Structure 1
Amino acid sequence: MGVKATPLPERMAPGPVELIHGPATTFNMEENLRSSRFTDLSILCGEYTFYVHKVIVTKACKYFKNLLDEACKDQVLELGTTKIDDEPAMVARLIHFLYTGNYPKTHVAHTGVKSFIPLPDTYVVAGREDLLHASMYAMGVKYGVKDLAFTAAEAFRRLGPGNGKIFESNDWPDLSAFIYNSTPVKDRHLRNIVVRQFQWALHHDRSLLDMDKLEKLLNEIPSLAFDLATIPLTKDTYKCSGCSHWQHALTLRCEHKERHKANDNECFKLGLKEQECFKCHKVAVFSKK
């Protein structure tokens, strides 16, 4: 004699749904990262292949979400392979972040990579951690992973954005050029950290600067020269009304700039303080209180 199933009501009763809990389980994202089991997308990058789960990489990455959405529109429902032309070590860190919410500073070993070989790493050498974080910020911007961009910018900032520390390495022209060449013009987060460094050195300790290198850099990156000439010195910070995150004034971009022909900091003086928060990604009112 079979068991007769009771039909579900057409409408649930109003109010909270009572859940029946089973044994506690944990879903270890890092284990999924280190295993190629049940993966359904292969990412070709140079001589390496990364095996990932679509449901994971599309959740926080706009690039992969759009890629698979377009495949569905074109009825390519079984898209199983895609190609990325970027530094394999940086792509490995991008994937690592999509699974775990962090990225390693040292060599990346990924069991989904062909032959299980750790990726070559041209970024992490003595004194180049700043370039690593700047590179990961650029990856976050390029692939539409806002949390990665925020994490990398905060890591870059914690290295010591003030008091001319950027000039402790002789590679500061390369770092400055990389940041300006790898970020959109309107993306001010890392660019303004560089501007603040130069402002501090120019006004407090010019001995930190090699003027010949600076002249060459400004000739190669005119937008940096323009920023140094137009962005005023300021130490103002503003607090997001949504998540209470404090942001430096230079990292806030006013949407009304074209309307009143003022620079970003003037916008705040005029009371136009509704901005997108770099941390919570919501448009909120920023205040100095």
Structure 2
Amino acid sequence: MSKVREQLLALLSSGKYSDLVITCGSDTHNVHKAIVCTRSGFFERAETFAVGREAAESKIDLPEDEPAIIRLLVQFLYECAYDIHPPVRSLSSSAPQVQPWFPHSCHTRGAQYSLHFPCKKELCEHHICGTHCRSKCSDFTCSVCDDLRPHRSAAEYASRLLVHAKMYEVGDKYQVTGLKELARENFQAACAVSWDDEQFAVAARHVFTSTPESDGGLRGVVMEVLRARRGVLTKPCVGAFLRQHPGVMYELLAGNAGM
């Protein structure tokens, strides 16, 4: 981890020098205008033209968004990356043995694999309890270390498809530089592995309901999969998606006619 990235993460985790609060559901993010307002057109305008109570408190509430997605958004604003932590049940004996204490909960006493609060132990080079998580992480598994696993199943990639689609959506909604591009790359990579999973149809449905026709980013990826993987068209879940979006079927038929 670079020194600058580590310092930014420490600022976000500690809330030190924070001059703006972003809330979503029960989540509160103590952020810094110099970072979030320069990287997001939405937050820049919200801060510039804020009035009333939110202006006085330097607070922005996002009641319509999913807290989990906003957490990833805030992470991206500070790191230019976002990590989708896999569920604990996805771990297997193939996980790196150099971290035998994963998963852990640094704020829970007595739980299996737990480290007693307050915990300052460095679990790996990517996470230090008390610095990166305010000693509040639960069932923590380092996503960077987890990516070193030699065999990640297609189901695991499939479970991330919808998250990447939602990150693309918030990247557009909040005008975050670079987020749409990264989400598209991640979505395309996940599709290459899990195009045969039912989650592909779920993600495709979200793509076509959350983006305008003029935005060909993720729509283009979905169309590439449908054209290249004809077998996926026979799946009931994909058939239901096509019935909801007949324009997609028309494009596929028109493409065949032009061949």
Same-fold call, TM cutoff 0.5: yes
Count of paired positions: 198
1:111 CA drift (Å): 8.1
Runs of 4+ with >6 A deviation? 107-115
Identity, in percent, stands at: 25
Contact 2:22 2:61 (8 Å CA) reproduced: yes
User: Unpaired runs of 5+ in structure 1?
Assistant: 1-24, 120-124, 235-289
1:171 CA drift (Å): 2.5
- Alpha-carbon distance between aligned partners in 2 of 1:26 and 1:213, rounded to the nearest angstrom: 45
**Counterpart in the other structure of 1:151:** 182
**Structure number, greater radius of gyration:** 1
CA deviations on 1:247-289 (whole Å, 9 max, x unpaired) are xxxxxxxxxxxxxxxxxxxxxxxxxxxxxxxxxxxxxxxxxxx
Higher helix share: 2
**Counterpart in the other structure of 1:197:** 225
1:68 CA drift (Å): 1.2
Contact 1:218 1:224 (8 Å CA) reproduced: yes
Question: Which is bigger in relative contact order (C-alpha 8 A, separation at least 6)?
Answer: 2
- Alpha-carbon distance between aligned partners in 2 of 1:39 and 1:98, rounded to the nearest angstrom: 14
Q: Which letter maps to 2:22?
A: I
Residue 183 (str. 1) matches residue 211 (str. 2): yes
1:83 CA drift (Å): 0.8
**Counterpart in the other structure of 2:237:** 213
User: Unpaired runs of 5+ in structure 2?
Assistant: 87-126, 140-154
- Alpha-carbon distance between aligned partners in 1 of 2:28 and 2:131, rounded to the nearest angstrom: 10
1:17-32 pair list within 5 angstroms: 28-32=7-11
**Counterpart in the other structure of 1:54:** 33
1:38 CA drift (Å): 1.5
Residue 141 (str. 1) matches residue 172 (str. 2): yes
- Alpha-carbon distance between aligned partners in 2 of 1:87 and 1:211, rounded to the nearest angstrom: 29
Pairwise CA RMSD of aligned residues?
3.5
- The one of 50, 57, 69 equivalent to 1:90 is 69
Helix, strand or coil at the partner of 2:49 = helix
CA deviations on 1:127-174 (whole Å, 9 max, x unpaired) are 31222222211111111113011111112222354xxx5432122221
1:68-83 pair list within 5 angstroms: 68-71=47-50, 78-83=56-61
Q: Tell me the TM-score normalised to structure 1 length.
A: 0.58
Contact 2:20 2:31 (8 Å CA) reproduced: yes
Helix, strand or coil at the partner of 2:178 = helix
Higher deviation after alignment, 143-152 or 214-223: 214-223
1:96 CA drift (Å): 0.7
Distance of aligned partners of 1:110 and 1:51 in 2 relative to their CA distance in 1, 3 Å threshold: farther
